Structure 1
Amino acid sequence: MFLRASSASHAPATVPISSQPSTAVDGIAARLREALRLLDGWLSAPLSAQQIVVRLSLYLLLAANWPLWLQLARIGGAPSQYLRPAAGLAVLIVCGMVAIFAFMAWTARGMKLLWWLVVLVAALAQYYMLTYSVVMDSGMAANVLQTDAGEVADLLSLRLLVSVLAVVALPGLWLLRVRVTAATPLRQVGRNLVMLVVALGVAAGTVAALSRDLAPLMRNHPHLRYMMNPLASLYSTTAVVLRPVFARSRTLVPMTQGAALGASYTAGARPLLFVLVVGETARAENFGINGYGRDTTPELARRGAFSWREVRSCGTSTLASLPCMFSPLGKSAFESRDNDYENLLDVAQAAGMGVLWLDNQSGCKGVCDRVPRAKAVDGLDDAARQSLCDGGECRDEAMLHNLDARLAALPAARRERGVLLVLHQMGSHGPAYYKRSAGSAKRFMPECRTEVLADCPHGELVNAYDNSIAATDAFLGKTIDWLRGQSARYDTGLLYLSDHGESLGEYGLFLHGMPYGMAPDVQKHVPMVAWMHDSMLRREKLSADCLRASADTPLTHDHLYHSMLGLLDVQSPSYQRGLDTFDGCRGSVTDSR
């Protein structure tokens, strides 16, 4: 027994084979837990509010300024030519962010959320700058603040989500875990003041040391200042929000004194029914009636429409152009005005006409505030909504639904004198151009079906955009047919003019809204088209041959106010005959309007 026991005691211990992988997995799990513990310890290490915001500033410099660095690389040529100004801009971005954060570096509850929101703004701005080559100036900030839910939905995509998360996830996790060390209010004020002074001092020193590099760069490429992220977004948004607060109170300057209907409204004359269509994001270059290689406007051509091929807009966005084009002031005076002025609609209404603004867009930007107005979706029955609308957004044809009833709802006394009906289109609003045309009417295929335009082959992008122009052509054709149906009772006419153009990848740019001075011509070159019934031509003593011969006359949005007063035969002291597009084609004009 002793020997057997001894043998047994010296026998090697056996370990079940199945336990070996378990031991290996346990070891990996232990190391992973240790790594996570160390990471959490690093993330949650206590820091002062000032240390946190300085680190955030450095992070944003590295993670949210790729549009600026890529643009500098394209401008600078060899690295030796752009590394010095790039280093200078990097220092200025960090100093600027530290200076801004100096007003937010507090231990108060809610500061973490505020810091994270700054990172979110930077992530969103970088995505749109990279995707659409926009810059974050005050005009773009104003457009963003006035964007409606439908336009926001068009801009959402999986790529946006991934791009934003790539920037905000790490600082979001850090801010969630980091502990902010407590400090007395007096100590926080002192630290923030020191941080602000140091940031401004370093920035001033950098400008002084690198002025020979930075000054010519900023003078020759002023758009770079609007790519310093998120400084440009924060500055531009703050300027737009605070401008009304600090601006002196504007008064509404009346322009309706002396407004009256002209000689064509004599007793027994037929009333006038005129439709002014405000186009959206239409490029003159893509209108077949203007000589474009594709026949995108067969309906206008079939109905004998007149077209002007050399028209420039007042701005490069709806917010800039729409109030300007209806104003009597013209672009230069409108942009430098100290007060607001009544516009074309006010004058037509004061003269006695019925006026109605019908909107299929994100509002009239103040133009229609004092006249009757409605949305295209208002009053649509279920069948019409199902066929014309998708996800709360309707195609422009919805504005023609129940139009007879809308016309009949205007005051009878005004309607018997004349009606000005304004239709504000969705038109070719991007980036979801493919949504602007019905599936059965798409003529140019395949088309781009994503909001990330740079991901589409250029040909497919142009196809989607041209389909939207063809949809506008069909809409205008149906509007003209409706006017023809009214011609037994009214003298009828139509004028179409787009608010601004669009970039479709030229020079790497997409969409619109670039500062006017640096915007490419495609964002400012807009189509203008007119159609008039024979009775309207006779009423206005207009020569059709003369109108066609004037197709290449240089025009701007400045001409709209005066041209419309001329067509409507509304007398006003504000009328300028030299800006009336149609005046030179009248057979005889004896009134002084």
Structure 2
Amino acid sequence: MPGSRVQSTPLPQDRVSLGASVRIPSTVPLLGLLESIDDWFARPRSPRTVVVWLTLYLALAANVPLWSELARIGGAPSVYLPTIALMALLTVCGTVAILSFTAWTRWMKPLWFGVVVLAAVVQHYMLSYRVVMDPSMLANAVQTDPNEVRDLMSWRMAFNVLLVSALPAWALWRVRIRPQRLGSQAWRNGVLLLSVAAIAAGGALAMNRQLAPLMRNNVHLRYMMNPMASLYSAATVAIRPMFKQSRKLMLVAGGTALGASYAGQARPPLFVLVVGETARADHFGLNGYARNTTPELAARHVLSYRDVRSCGTNTLASVPCMFSPLGKQEFEGRKNEYENLMDVLQASGLAVFWLDNQAGGCKGVCDRVPHASAFQDLDPSVQAALCDGDECLDDVMLRGLDERLAALPAERRSKGVVLVMHQMGSHGPSYFKRSSPDVKRFLPECKTNALSECSHTELVNGYDNSIAYTDRFLGKTIDWLKGQSRQFDPALLYLSDHGESLGEYGLFLHGVPYGFAPEVQKHVPMVTWLSDGMKARRKLASTCMESGVDAPLSHDNLYHTVLGLMDVSTPTYKPALDALASCRGGNVASN
């Protein structure tokens, strides 16, 4: 009716309009707690807050190896606890400083999560293999081929990475980044950067007396600050190629010529240089190892040099260095790239060929000479017998070797041949894959790439079986060379690129920065076998060579020793670094 008032009837308390959004309180305490935590993570935050919280989390969850190492070095808690606190401060400040450059918008979330995954992966390898992620190790990892990557993967790795990354993944997904103007973001990020830099500097100065000797005597600690060290190494590896492209290739092969021994030669030389992989000298029976891991080489009366040091502790560092005319010190400080031993041998007129059994290749050494991968275009029967996917046992390099030689230019071949064979050798961590069943004399062996799951005895057994396989491979290569004696004067030199840690000092694998790497990663085997024809053409005295097996040598000697043995004259040849120079011209005694 007109003038009447209509009173609204209140809705019942259990009714809710369709447009409303109401959270029904949970009757389960645990669910209520989880919902509260989720609400807290979902609050809007500045990108700087996210960066700081993420860094604090990683300092706790991804630096277990660093805290353990500091505790081991410090001894008593009263000594190492203050040091741990200082290193935690420096790690947090350094990581925040780096990530402050990414503190912008919500689109940085994938990048932040990538940092988390990187830190988790690095921690896994530091815990499992006691390696540190310095630029050299990271560069070597980047160039690792898929087969080697597969060997390093495991369910344990997946679990360890998930354990560290699950919580931040959820947090980054839930958190809302508060939008801000570009100018405001920039000056706030700058303040954050300057603040953490000042805090780090203050802490370092306050405890410089303790920090300076600690870092000077334990250089590896700086590469254990995770993820700061990994981010630094990644940036170094990414930026370095930009400057490398501007490097000139310095020519050193000018003025190269064959020596007098080639004039009217009855037979050309055939020299095989075997570049070993991950072999340590103290596990060669020839060098006094308690186990007879090298019976085949011993039966062929080779010379084993017992005091040889590598140029680096990983393939990427060692192989280019050992073929360089510069020597370790100059090579590492070079401003430009230089031609190497392969270029000089080719410039002399010899037939040169590089045969590789590593998918990672020759690290640039063979780029300008004929080269091939041993596992490509294989006969199916050979592949089935010697290969697992694209990874093959070293015997594959001996298949079709006569045809490879015959394919080299006849004019060059008539002067002489240099063949380089780059082994798979004893590459870890899957040592059990580096030997065939018929040479596995040391049992039981470790049959997993998770080395921590194996006993030390099983680990050493697997590694020694790989050395025994290399011994047999070298024995077969020498036998093949002997079969070429009617057409050539053959010789062989074997030299490993670096050694390996098998648990000594808690270290595994290789790649520890050279300055503080253990001797087992730098002390490498070097073996020579010379036919009577080669010794006669170079006038090499056997007794003299035998007396020199304990002389200190290094990768620096390879370039000059090969040139001297092959009688190739070039301006970069240094007789003082030729391991056989003092034995030329004497009475030749046959084996």
Common fold: TM-score over 0.5:
yes
2:429 alignment counterpart: 431
Change (3 A) 1:289 1:29: farther
Q: Give the whole-Å Cα distance in 2 for the aligned partners of 1:78 and 1:44.
A: 43
> Which amino acid is 1:149 matched to?
P
Contact 2:121 2:161 in 1 (8 A): yes
Structure 1 segment 24-63 matched on structure 2, within 5 A: 30-31=28-29, 33-63=31-61
Give the Å deviation of 1:31.
4.9
Contact 1:307 1:527 in 2 (8 A): yes
1:206 to 203, 208, 211: 203
1:182 alignment counterpart: 179
Deviations 1:398-456 (A, max 9, x none): 11111111111111111111110000001001111111001232110000112222332
2:276 alignment counterpart: 279
Give the Å deviation of 1:45.
2.2
Give the Å deviation of 1:116.
0.3
Give the Å deviation of 1:587.
2.5
1:459 alignment counterpart: 457
> Which amino acid is 1:157 matched to?
S
Q: Give the whole-Å Cα distance in 2 for the aligned partners of 1:248 and 1:151.
A: 27
Q: Give the whole-Å Cα distance in 1 for the aligned partners of 2:338 and 2:315.
A: 18
1:106 to 96, 104, 107: 104
Q: Which moves more between the two structures, 548-557 or 262-271?
A: 262-271
Give the Å deviation of 1:339.
1.6
Q: Give the whole-Å Cα distance in 1 for the aligned partners of 2:217 and 2:573.
A: 40
1:70 to 53, 68, 71: 68
> Which amino acid is 1:578 matched to?
A
Deviations 1:304-333 (A, max 9, x none): 111111111111111111111111111111
1:3 alignment counterpart: none
Q: Give the whole-Å Cα distance in 1 for the aligned partners of 2:44 and 2:371.
A: 58
> Which amino acid is 1:48 matched to?
S
1:587 to 578, 585, 588: 585
2:297 alignment counterpart: 300
1:447 alignment counterpart: 445
Structure 1 segment 12-31 matched on structure 2, within 5 A: 30-31=28-29
Give the Å deviation of 1:33.
4.5
Structure 1 segment 344-359 matched on structure 2, within 5 A: 344-359=341-356
Secondary structure of the residue that 2:514 maps to in structure 1? coil
Q: Give the whole-Å Cα distance in 2 for the aligned partners of 1:549 and 1:225.
A: 44
Contact 1:454 1:505 in 2 (8 A): no
Q: Give the whole-Å Cα distance in 2 for the aligned partners of 1:210 and 1:256.
A: 53
Give the Å deviation of 1:303.
1.2
1:266 to 263, 266, 269: 263
2:474 alignment counterpart: 476
Structure 1 segment 137-152 matched on structure 2, within 5 A: 137-152=134-149
> Which amino acid is 2:281 matched to?
A
Cα root mean square deviation, aligned: 1.6
Secondary structure of the residue that 2:491 maps to in structure 1? strand
Secondary structure of the residue that 1:517 maps to in structure 2? helix
Q: Which runs of 5+ in 1 are unaligned?
A: 1-26
Q: Do structure 1's residue 516 and structure 2's residue 514 form an aligned pair?
A: yes
Give the Å deviation of 1:42.
2.7
Give the Å deviation of 1:105.
0.9
> Which amino acid is 1:202 matched to?
I
Percent of pairs with identical residues: 60
Q: Give the whole-Å Cα distance in 1 for the aligned partners of 2:339 and 2:447.
A: 41
1:159 to 142, 153, 156: 156
> Which amino acid is 1:443 matched to?
R
Secondary structure of the residue that 2:516 maps to in structure 1? coil
Q: Which moves more between the two structures, 570-579 or 111-120?
A: 570-579
Q: Which moves more between the two structures, 59-68 or 90-99?
A: 90-99
Secondary structure of the residue that 1:103 maps to in structure 2? helix
Give the Å deviation of 1:358.
0.5
Contact 1:325 1:560 in 2 (8 A): yes
1:191 to 188, 193, 196: 188
Give the Å deviation of 1:379.
2.7
Give the Å deviation of 1:268.
4.8
Q: Give the whole-Å Cα distance in 2 for the aligned partners of 1:185 and 1:530.
A: 67
Secondary structure of the residue that 2:270 maps to in structure 1? strand
Contact 1:397 1:475 in 2 (8 A): yes
> Which amino acid is 1:372 matched to?
P
> Which amino acid is 2:308 matched to?
V
> Which amino acid is 2:576 matched to?
G
Deviations 1:49-73 (A, max 9, x none): 1111110010001000111100010
Given the two structures, how large is their TM-score scaled by the length of structure 1? 0.92
Contact 2:26 2:32 in 1 (8 A): no
Give the Å deviation of 1:247.
6.0
Give the Å deviation of 1:291.
1.3
> Which amino acid is 1:549 matched to?
S
Contact 1:84 1:213 in 2 (8 A): no
Give the Å deviation of 1:28.
9.8
Deviations 1:533-590 (A, max 9, x none): 211111111122222222111111111111100111111121111111112222359x
2:4 alignment counterpart: none
Structure 1 segment 209-248 matched on structure 2, within 5 A: 209-246=206-243
1:122 alignment counterpart: 119
Q: Give the whole-Å Cα distance in 2 for the aligned partners of 1:135 and 1:40.
A: 36
Q: Which runs of 5+ in 2 are unaligned?
A: 1-24
Give the Å deviation of 1:97.
1.3
Deviations 1:149-176 (A, max 9, x none): 1111111111111111110011011111
Q: Which moves more between the two structures, 44-53 or 167-176?
A: 44-53
Q: Which moves more between the two structures, 86-95 or 56-65?
A: 86-95
> Which amino acid is 1:288 matched to?
G
Q: Which moves more between the two structures, 501-510 or 204-213?
A: 204-213
Change (3 A) 1:372 1:74: same
> Which amino acid is 1:347 matched to?
V
Contact 2:106 2:177 in 1 (8 A): no
Q: Do structure 1's residue 316 and structure 2's residue 313 form an aligned pair?
A: yes
> Which amino acid is 1:511 matched to?
L
Q: Which moves more between the two structures, 543-552 or 224-233?
A: 543-552
Q: Give the whole-Å Cα distance in 2 for the aligned partners of 1:228 and 1:234.
A: 10
1:131 to 128, 140, 164: 128
1:24 alignment counterpart: none
Q: Give the whole-Å Cα distance in 2 for the aligned partners of 1:350 and 1:269.
A: 22
Q: Give the whole-Å Cα distance in 1 for the aligned partners of 2:205 and 2:300.
A: 64
Contact 1:380 1:401 in 2 (8 A): no
Change (3 A) 1:266 1:305: same
Contact 1:358 1:423 in 2 (8 A): yes
Secondary structure of the residue that 1:416 maps to in structure 2? helix
Deviations 1:333-362 (A, max 9, x none): 111222211111111100100000001121
Structure 1 segment 406-425 matched on structure 2, within 5 A: 406-425=404-423
> Which amino acid is 1:466 matched to?
D
Q: Give the whole-Å Cα distance in 2 for the aligned partners of 1:186 and 1:576.
A: 62
Structure 1 segment 371-410 matched on structure 2, within 5 A: 371-410=369-408
Contact 2:45 2:175 in 1 (8 A): yes
